[in-house]
A and B are shown apart, each in its own frame.
Chain A
Amino acid sequence: GAGVSQSPRYKVAKRGQDVALRCDPISGHVSLFWYQQALGQGPEFLTYFQNEAQLDKSGLPSDRFFAERPEGSVSTLKIQRTQQEDSAVYLCASSLLNSGAVNYGYTFGSGTRLTVV
């Protein structure tokens, strides 16, 4: 597609429920980032993929968060046993080149708004 697509657009989960958020990057984009954006805050880095390799997951807040990109294209962010503090917008961004060589910004998706009740 023309842009980064994220689904679902909105997700309401009961506390303790597992959720899976999907990101379809721009075709051919090598790099893929996940961010968490809490209300009134800037995006916080979660994890970074270069193709199928997860090169940096230092931003994942706990072991309940897990991300994968098995074929180097679509990525899924999974949150197990959701807590109220997980409520946020989860953003995905992709880029054509790898992080070390990039000299332009990334294309962001519209995000998935997760509300844990």
Chain B
Amino acid sequence: AQSVSQHNHHVILSEAASLELGCNYSYGGTVNLFWYVQYPGQHLQLLLKYFSGDPLVKGIKGFEAEFIKSKFSFNLRKPSVQWSDTAEYFCAGANNLFFGTGTRLTVIP
């Protein structure tokens, strides 16, 4: 079935730790992938997107993601997290038709 999956449900990190959140997609055709963030009580905001070209995509707030076609993956990374990064993170694909179940990130000061 066409889908996007996130295997990390809840990640807890200390400030300054490095972050990597997993996202795998399973659909064919043109691949376009997104990462969104949802801060507590706020709406979904776009972090970054991949449509074509350079597989390493840089987004806002110091986030980046790498599209690896051979692994069907689009993992989100940040070298050093801050307390303010505490939020829910969603991967999405196929022009936002499929969303993952989300990963809750808690950053401990």
Contact = CB atoms under 8 A, between A and B. Distances in A.
B90 A43 contact: yes
Given A91-B44, A110-B42, A105 B102 contact: no
A42 B43 contact: no
Nearest to B51: A103
Contact of A45 (B43, B46, B98, B100): B98
Contacts of B96: 33, 45, 93, 105-106
A104 B96 CA distance: 10
A105 B34 CA distance: 7
Interface in A89-117: 91, 93, 99-100, 102-106, 108-111
B95 interface: yes
Interface residues of A, number: 23
A91 B96 CA distance: 12
B99 A108 contact: no
Contacts of A18: none
Contacts of A106: 46, 96
Contacts of A40: 101-102
Given A105-B36, A106-B96, A42 B101 contact: yes
A34 B42 CA distance: 17
Interface in A4-48: 4, 33, 35, 40-45
Interface string B26-50: 0000001010100000111110010
Interface string B68-109: 000000000000000000000010100111111110000000
Interface of A: 3-4, 33, 35, 40-45, 91, 93, 99-100, 102-106, 108-111
Given A41-B101, A104-B49, 7 more contacts: A4-B43, A40-B102, A42-B102, A44-B99, A103-B32, A105-B46, A111-B43
26 contacts: A4-B43, A33-B96, A35-B99, A40-B101, A40-B102, A41-B101, A41-B102, A42-B6, A42-B99, A42-B101, A43-B90, A43-B92, A43-B99, A102-B95, A103-B32, A103-B49, A103-B51, A104-B46, A104-B49, A105-B36, A105-B46, A105-B92, A108-B43, A108-B44, A108-B45, A110-B42
